């Protein structure tokens, strides 16, 4: 499957793997403080503040309120490089990296939406990028 890695990995239970990816991502994200510079710009201050607020959201809400196991399983199974076989799913490290980035994006989207609903940041749809965007109050 992959030219960068010699081995493919077998996912026998997609829900267990999805739960592992989600819990590890949230655990790592909430464990480390964001980096700061000596003279932060307004954007850096906003990024720091939002990161701290996202950590609070991740700790405040049940993980299923950010992204469900079935949503993660769908991200995994919809990856074009993940192969369904009788024993489960074959995946390579390149795909795991891409899958993790998609999960991260979904978690952030959910967390940003919750912050916007709490009136802590602004959000709106950008028709040029066809994406929701967030900015400081």
CB distance 66 to 111 below 8 Å: yes
User: For 108-122, what is each residue's pLDDT tens digit?
Assistant: 888 888 888 889 888
CA torsion, points 19, 21, 22, 24, in degrees to nearest 10? 110
The domains of the chain are located at: 9-135
User: What DSSP state is assigned to residue 34?
Assistant: P
The whole-model pTM stands at 0.75
Task: Give first-to-last CA distance, the chain, whole Å.
Answer: 46
Q: Which residues pair with 125 in a beta bridge?
A: 132
Distance CA 115, CA 94 (A): 32
User: For 66-76, what is each residue's pLDDT tens digit?
Assistant: 899 999 999 99
């Amino acid at each position: 499957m992959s030219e960068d890695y010699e081995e493919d990995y077998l996912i026998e239970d997609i829900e267990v793997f999805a739960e592992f990816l989600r819990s590890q991502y949230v655990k790592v994200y909430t464990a480390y403080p964001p980096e700061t510079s000596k003279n932060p710009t307004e954007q850096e201050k906003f990024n720091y503040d939002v990161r701290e607020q996202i950590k609070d959201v991740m700790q405040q809400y049940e993980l299923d309120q950010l992204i469900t196991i079935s949503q993660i399983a769908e991200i995994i199974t919809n990856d074009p490089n993940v192969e369904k076989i009788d024993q489960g799913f074959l995946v390579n490290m390149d795909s795991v990296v891409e899958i993790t980035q998609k999960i991260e994006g979904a978690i952030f989207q959910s967390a940003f939406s919750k912050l916007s609903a709490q009136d802590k940041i602004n959000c709106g749809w950008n028709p040029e990028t066809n994406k929701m965007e967030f900015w400081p109050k």
